[in-house]
Amino acid sequence: MELNLTGKRALVGGSTQGIGKAVAMELAALGASVTLIARNESSLKSVCKELPALHGQSHDYIIADFSEPSSLEKALSVYLQKGQIINILVNNTGGPPGGPVVAAKSDEFESAFRQHLVCNHILATACLDGMKKSGYGRVINVISTSVKQPLKGLGVSNTVRAAVANWSKTLAAELAPYGITVNNILPGATKTQRLVSLIEAKSGKTGKPVDELENEMIAEIPMGRFATADEIAAAVVFLSSPAASYITGINIPVDGGRTGCL
């Protein structure tokens, strides 16, 4: 099974922490040159230094704020004008704040739509020419199991994640003739800062202790534990590899069996 990514360049969103950082580390370990993209330059520099480079690859980064799609578009254009070709795009952005959908304001939907769907589209379309010219293209979107089964208390996220999934499915069909694959990874509850923030926010609203809320969540997971960021990254990296050349247009839950449907 061919997993070697030597000679490929990957662009990874949200790559200074959590799942994004884990994905960047694994891609680099398999030989890919990695371009990190996030808004905090000091964090980008720090992670860039951590990336393994045992195969002679070169790593770099792009500074961009996904809350402003026009600035992302400009930063990406400047980068690609230098002649870089992106073979692997990993769309990964931190989810919107939790809360019931009936309490959500219209600007919350608009903000999440921009940060997720619009920015994903900007990144994907900007990378397409290079993928076509190089004969190798992978687009992997890190979304949520809410695509299959909406999650309680995540009204805005449930709505926007579904939009991203349908955009992805449409894109997969359009790009399949070029051999470019487009797939979604759906993480379940994963030990990241976002999970900590969601649990702490719920604790503040309900008065329940954090450990009690964690145990309630774990009780819903057949495997009896949260995922690690590395476990999510492993699925992303497989879809990035030559071994996944005939897999496109699908959702893969990585959730320890929590989702109650196929």
pLDDT band at 196 (very low <50, low <70, confident <90, very high): confident
Please count the structural domains in the chain. Answer: 2
Tell whether the model's pLDDT for residue 193 goes beyond 90.
no
Residue 143 lies in a domain: yes
Order the strands of the 251-254 sheet from edge to edge: 60-63, 33-38, 9-13, 88-91, 137-142, 180-187, 251-254
In this structure, are 186 and 216 located in the same domain?
no
Rounded average pLDDT over 169-185: 98
Tell whether the model's pLDDT for residue 245 goes beyond 90.
yes
Q: What is the pLDDT of residue 194?
A: 84
User: What global pTM score does this model have?
Assistant: 0.96
Q: How big is the CA angle at 144 (ends 138 and 145), to the nearest 5 degrees?
A: 115
Residue 248 lies in a domain: yes
Placement of tokens 């003739």 in the chain: 177
In this structure, are 83 and 118 located in the same domain?
yes
In this structure, are 63 and 159 located in the same domain?
yes
Residue 177 lies in a domain: yes
In this structure, are 154 and 107 located in the same domain?
yes
Residue type, 204: G
Residue 208 lies in a domain: yes
Residue 92 lies in a domain: yes
Rounded average pLDDT over 15-26: 97
In this structure, are 202 and 181 located in the same domain?
no
Q: What is the pLDDT of residue 44?
A: 98
Lowest mean pLDDT among 59-63, 92-96, 167-171, 239-243: 92-96
User: Over the stretch 140-157, which tens digit does the pLDDT of each residue have?
Assistant: 999 999 999 999 999 999
Encoded tokens for 85: 């070709």
Residue 166 lies in a domain: yes
Domain of 50, CATH number, reads 3.40.50.720
Encoded tokens for 188: 């379940």
CB burial of 107-133 (b: ≥16 within 10 Å; e: otherwise) equals ebbebbbbbbbbbbebbbebbbebbee
Tell whether the model's pLDDT for residue 195 goes beyond 90.
no
Other beta carbons less than 10 A from residue 41's beta carbon = 11
Domain that holds residue 218: 191-226
Rounded average pLDDT over 88-95: 94
Q: What is the pLDDT of residue 198?
A: 83
In this structure, are 67 and 196 located in the same domain?
no
The proportion of the chain whose per-residue pLDDT surpasses 70, expressed as a percent, equals 100
